[in-house]
Structure 1
């Protein structure tokens, strides 16, 4: 049930103090105090699950990113006018996402801080943490991260916690976001994580030390070519839209036991078959505890059907994913 409504950030803080709700929705633009400062105050005074409402555009992508960074568990696009059926579907999606946020583990609703870098890495001349490996060097191991619906806050924590100790590892992240949203958020994520990041495009060659982001709206095969690997887009006829299965299965066939997969959140069953394929030659599958995920359905299915290792914190997962050698 909706407990109350506030007409600005200052009023919202007073209402929250009085009503003690389970979840909060915030608009980005509000009178007297906008959504982002209000979110910061909520996280300082007493963290609550917060869902941000935003009309996502290239211009507002920075605010969307900052919302996740400062502790929002989800950012929803405002419903837009259209056919009655479409509007009702949008309203139902918003109701569902707010309800899911209300019961999320509070680890998913905290300010996300960057890991401290060494003095050398923090210098203006250092740039992204690319190591001494030259561009074009084939990877020794592949990390594949399934970032399903509700997983972006956990992905931020994961990237900020990573030490990137082994520069020969290449990382591919499959996100449940439209590619245009990924492209808009990518520069901020690369800057804050200190890692070279690129969006996946057909035919891209994966270099050691790189991190590549791809939308789950598209299916890509990982193909070994000589001593290197590249990404090629699959046709819909060859592969129905099961992007994580497609990526994991092709990666396992190309690299054998040199794969570590991490699952952050999600729904449905896309990825279960691919994760089992990863395990067969000796690859490793890590998954966050379902209560720590905004969308626990898929992590729960992974633990039930795949011989996966449940990792209690994002920090521990980062250490295991990018350690020099995973045994």
Structure 2
């Protein structure tokens, strides 16, 4: 049984969430009406995972999350509104240690249950097995680093990555077109991704020589604020892809949520472009579709794939194929991944050139493109 604490000030939402998880048959449930009541439940109920409303009277979701991470760290899934303010609060929650964020249904809750319930259950199950990453103070450390200040006391060199060996039995990818100048980095992430992306981009130098395209599974409401936040925490320029945009060395392109981001060729050269979601790709923005589009246009040796924390297997097949054809790939190590689903599938497929803990990925990537 999975012990789940549901925290929401709305009696209707508590009833709806309770019915969703009770129908699964393997959840033991407790309910709290606000942040203070949730804190009281922590030692008595001992939840495996918590769903936490972002907006509550009194002790709100962010303040309650801080207390949970300090007093009894456990996986937390935030429930957020679709508003811009809700998106910013959700990204704050992820930076403070929440495992994931789920959009609350807007309007009539009953009409959204068919879409909302499966995603919620899937996310909570994954979160129950996740390692919450406590990242308080990360933004301040990155700002200090880019201001030229000394690294924090006690910092250590990043552990060396490991090469897991050769790749076997990888499905083919179509042939590529003529080689353009330079190269391209393709990054995929899902659950736990925003803090991992912050850590990765925050360590890359301003003169990083290749463009970077990111497919982070996330709703469209959140990807714009995520790109703006990453832009403020990185020495690189970061933007959301809402229209075709040229791929420029040293710039970072975040795919818009609820759609896909692909690489296309235009008369002026290669571009990152949004593309409507397709049914054969279950997660969006799709890592598999991004990698396939790049392999259609660029030689594998000019591509580096980076697959980070996330549930599922999106990106594992195509990045394994990328390595098999002479490209290079980095998988986040199990020790640092919030959920070792996507990178774990890449490693098990023999498709990772390098397996590295989060704190070592930027250095490994910089060495590969040098």
SS at match of 1:5: strand
Farther off after superposition, 297-306 or 65-74: 297-306
Taking structure 1 as reference, are residues 317 and 268 closer, same or farther at Cα in structure 2, changes over 3 Å only?
same
Aligned to 1:155: 197
What number of residue pairs does the alignment pair up? 308
- 1:64-143 maps to which residues of 2 (within 5 A)? 64-80=90-106, 82=108, 84=110, 86-106=112-132, 108-111=133-136, 113-114=138-139, 116=141, 121-122=146-147, 140-143=182-185
Aligned to 1:305: 349
In the alignment, structure 1 residue 171 sits paired with structure 2 residue 212: yes
Aligned to 1:190: 231
SS at match of 2:138: coil
- Equivalent in 180, 200, 206 of residue 247 of structure 2: 206
SS at match of 1:60: helix
Aligned to 1:283: 327
- Equivalent in 213, 218, 239 of residue 260 of structure 2: 218
TM-superposed CA distance for 1:19, in Å, is: 2.5
TM-superposed CA distance for 1:292, in Å, is: 4.9
Distance 2:182 2:253 in 1: 16
Provide, for residues 124-150 of structure 1, a one-character-per-residue CA deviation record: whole Å limited to 9, x for no partner: xxxxxxxxxxxxxx9743221012355
Distance 1:104 1:56 in 2: 25
In the alignment, structure 1 residue 47 sits paired with structure 2 residue 73: yes
- Give unmatched runs, 5+ long, in structure 1: 124-137
Taking structure 1 as reference, are residues 286 and 33 closer, same or farther at Cα in structure 2, changes over 3 Å only?
same
Aligned to 2:151: none
TM-superposed CA distance for 1:204, in Å, is: 1.1
Q: Give the superposed CA RMSD.
A: 3.3
In the alignment, structure 1 residue 247 sits paired with structure 2 residue 247: no
Provide, for residues 238-260 of structure 1, a one-character-per-residue CA deviation record: whole Å limited to 9, x for no partner: x9648433432343442441222
Aligned to 1:18: 44
> 8 Å contact 1:269–1:301 — kept in the other structure?
yes
Taking structure 1 as reference, are residues 167 and 92 closer, same or farther at Cα in structure 2, changes over 3 Å only?
closer
TM-superposed CA distance for 1:4, in Å, is: 2.8
Aligned to 1:130: none
- Give unmatched runs, 5+ long, in structure 2: 1-26, 149-179
Taking structure 1 as reference, are residues 68 and 231 closer, same or farther at Cα in structure 2, changes over 3 Å only?
same
Per the normalisation by structure 2, the TM-score is 0.71
Distance 1:22 1:118 in 2: 34
TM-superposed CA distance for 1:233, in Å, is: 5.4
Distance 1:30 1:104 in 2: 25
> 8 Å contact 1:114–1:193 — kept in the other structure?
no
Per the normalisation by structure 1, the TM-score is 0.79
Taking structure 1 as reference, are residues 215 and 293 closer, same or farther at Cα in structure 2, changes over 3 Å only?
farther
